[in-house]
Amino acid sequence: MPGTSVHVQQLTKRFGATTALEDITFDVGKGELFGFIGPDGAGKTTLLRILTTLLLADTGRCTVEGFDVVKDYRRIRSISGYMPGKFSLYQDLTVEENLKFFATIFGTTISENYHLVREIYQQIEPFKNRKAGKLSGGMKQKLALSCAMIHKPDVLFLDEPTTGVDAVSRLEFWEMLQRLKAAGITILVSTPYMDEASQCDRVALMQNGRIMTISTPREVIRNYPLSLLSVKAGDIYQLLGELRKYPGVHSVYAFGQSAHVAFQKTKLDKDTLSGFLKKNNHAVVEIEPIEATIEDCFMELMNTPRE
């Protein structure tokens, strides 16, 4: 990796009695696409707000491209782009006026950096005279990304950019991020969607203000210590209850229409379990071994007591 872009060391932030972030330490390399994954309240937004100099940490040190977030906050503001989780462009200005406004206050023009946002902006350009408030969710995201990109930032901070956006737009959005990454921009993105983890170079799984693990998505899955069976049955609620009581089962979670049963290889296998379910008159539709997903890993990490 050609050097560090974002460096965070032993960061802590409290809001009154609640600890939003505790002892966060990580590095993001230049040109990396780094994801923060975790449920609401994990501390993702707080972390991004500290990195974008909007919030001061209690203790710890952060640098972005070598600049300290407290001392050199001005420099950071001109080299980073930020897209908050809540749409925060001017709803009463048009698409073009918004983009022009942000270009101007960063001391640049649309034409100067048009090549950077072209692919994204072209999709919303037909609506450039429409007010930003009247755009659809997906188009708003594209506009927000364009505005965060128009001054050619070195680092891009995106707070839950795909929340509230339809599946197709989400996919498109990630494709855009991949292209920006290819252009050499460091991207830090937070998301509550586990399935988006695989798009990142590395992910940090966060829970209750702590980072549980940082590694590549593939490695996270490889480190999953258990075996998994996916069980589909008629009455999933009853199924979950009975599976949890069955000896040898480590944990059971509902994943859409099916239940994921985690167990240690030595203690259980598919045939025993399906035999048990048949005996209990469960109309088992399907039972098959599966690969762990990031979500399974997340659930497992959440349950592992911290040393």
Partner 1 sequence: MRTILYIIQKEFLQVFRNKSMLPIIFFVPIFQLIILVNAATYEMKHIRVSVVDLDLSGISRKLVSKFQGSPFYRIQSTSFSYREAEDQMKRGNIDMILQVPAGFEKKLLKEGHAKVQFVINAINGQSAGLINAYSTMILLDYNREMVMENTTPLMMAGIKSIQTDYSYWYNPKLNYKTYMVPGILVLLVTIVGLLLSGMNIVREMEIGTIEQINVTPINKIQFIAGKLIPFWIIGLFELAFGLTVGKLLFNIPMEGSLALIFLSAAVYLFVILSFGLLISTITHTQQQAMLVSFFFMVVFILMSGLFTSIESMPVWAQNLDRLNPVMYFIRIMRMVLLKGSGFADISRHFWALVIYAVCSLSLAILRYRKVS
Q: Which residues bind partner 1 (CB under 8 A)?
A: 52-56, 73-74, 77-78, 80-82, 84, 86-93, 97, 101-102, 104-107, 147
Cβ 123 to partner 1, closest distance in Å? 21
Q: Which is nearer to partner 1, 54 or 302 (CB)?
A: 54
Cβ 285 to partner 1, closest distance in Å? 46
Q: Which is nearer to partner 1, 70 or 301 (CB)?
A: 70
- Sequence-ordered strand ranges (E) for the chain: 4-15, 18-29, 33-37, 59-64, 67-68, 80-83, 155-159, 186-191, 202-207, 210-215, 227-233, 249-255, 258-263, 284-290
Residue 107 burial by CB count (10 A; 0-12/13-18/19+): exposed, middle or buried? exposed
Q: In 3-state terms, what secondary structure has residue 104? A: helix
227-233/186-191 β-pairing: unpaired
Q: Which is nearer to partner 1, 104 or 272 (CB)?
A: 104
Rg (CA), the chain: 22
Alpha helix segments (H runs only) across 150-280? 167-182, 217-222, 236-245, 270-279
Q: Which is nearer to partner 1, 95 or 259 (CB)?
A: 95
Q: Which is nearer to partner 1, 67 or 263 (CB)?
A: 67
Cβ 88 to partner 1, closest distance in Å? 4
Fill in the amino acid letter for 194: M
Cβ 8 to partner 1, closest distance in Å? 18
Cβ 26 to partner 1, closest distance in Å? 21
Cβ 6 to partner 1, closest distance in Å? 15
Q: Which is nearer to partner 1, 34 or 82 (CB)?
A: 82
Cβ 32 to partner 1, closest distance in Å? 21
Fill in the amino acid letter for 231: V
Nearest to 158 by CA among 218, 236, 84: 84
Q: Which is nearer to partner 1, 80 or 169 (CB)?
A: 80
d(Cα 246, Cα 41) in Å, to the nearest integer? 33
